[in-house]
Chains A and B, each alone.
Chain A
């Protein structure tokens, strides 16, 4: 009995796996994870960017929830001054089966070197989505530093639109997704609810033409997003804009029996 027990233990814990066995085990675990193969991200060797940092924060919240230590409390990487601007996502996060962050692919500006109104456009590739899952929420997150120039004591009205149709020589068709009113001196992450757009993009990826952001003062004057303190793709890596999408599985994943 004790020999059998020791043998079992040694085979479970101490046996060195052959290369083939290791590959088979890797393939088996990848299949449980629903991955066709081992992902190969490009190693950038720079400072971690904003999306992985945000996701790591979510991971810690979800992991502690799995351990039943924390019930619903989720910490957002949002300074307290702006936290009231963020919709409560506690339930969305705790019920999510998958959370994906997307890196901003394209950024276009119509800034102070162009005619008013000023705007900023962002685009995200949402084609690599988990199968059999539906979007429960999607947020566009952008970091705001203190504003420069004459608008520092004013309130900024920041609007995010979905680009429905772009035209060559005239204005694109836009659909308003979310608006936030922020004091120009505030600093921190802003989160805009873009769930409606991401659902449309999921149904038809060719309609994903991106997001456009405008900033106005109380009187309707256009403000350059850069001067308002919004950090773009060329800003510090931990403060670059990104998209985060929450998914819920339609049904438990079914694995093919072998």
Chain B
């Protein structure tokens, strides 16, 4: 019953001209309402679990995160949706075979630094870019 009420409410707020909505496809969006919207999830990469602490000095692991969730039209609950993602979602609604749904992917990534020994016992400190998800969004 809650779902039905929400359906009504959402239909009211989505002022799309009826001609743009392919019959049945819009209902598909509502079916996926119970699913999670695109967002960042916890994911820890552990160098300890990989049994690498004999050569990796620091860190023991790092919070990498990942993006997961639905990018269904309308994307208003997904703050980082690009204009292209919004248009792609519309096209997907009308012609699902022409374009897939927009993808939930990282919008901002940051670097990590890893300190490790090489075979000659020299110590290397290296910066690896784009390793940590800072934010997710629909692309």
Contact = CB atoms under 8 A, between A and B. Distances in A.
Contacts of B41: 12
Interface string B57-68: 111000000101
A41 B117 contact: yes
Given A1-B34, A8-B68, A56-B57, A252 B129 contact: yes
Interface string B4-42: 000000000000000000000000000000111000010
B122 A62 contact: no
Given A1-B35, A8-B68, A39-B118, A99 B125 contact: yes
A12 B44 CA distance: 10
Interface string A34-74: 10001111111000000110011011001100100000000
Contacts of B55: 38-41
B115 to A, nearest CB: 4
B114 interface: yes
Chain B binding site: helix, strand, loop or mixed by DSSP? strand
Contacts of A12: 41, 43, 66
Nearest to A52: B123
User: How many interface residues does chain A have, given as a range?
Assistant: 35 or more
Contacts of A4: 35
B117 A96 contact: no
Nearest to A5: B36
Given A1-B35, A63-B59, A66-B112, A100 B123 contact: yes
A39 B122 CA distance: 11
Interface of A: 1-2, 4-5, 8, 12, 22, 25-26, 29, 32-34, 38-44, 51-52, 55-56, 58-59, 62-63, 66, 96-103, 125, 128, 130, 252
Interface of B: 34-36, 41, 43, 45, 50, 52, 54-55, 57-59, 66, 68, 110-129
Given A58-B125, A97-B127, 18 more contacts: A2-B34, A33-B114, A33-B126, A34-B126, A39-B55, A40-B55, A41-B55, A41-B117, A44-B121, A52-B123, A56-B115, A62-B127, A100-B123, A100-B125, A101-B123, A102-B122, A130-B124, A130-B126
Task: Enumerate the 7 nearest inter-chain pairs by beta-carbon distance, A residue then B residue, closest first.
Answer: A41-B117, A99-B125, A1-B34, A59-B115, A55-B123, A62-B113, A101-B123
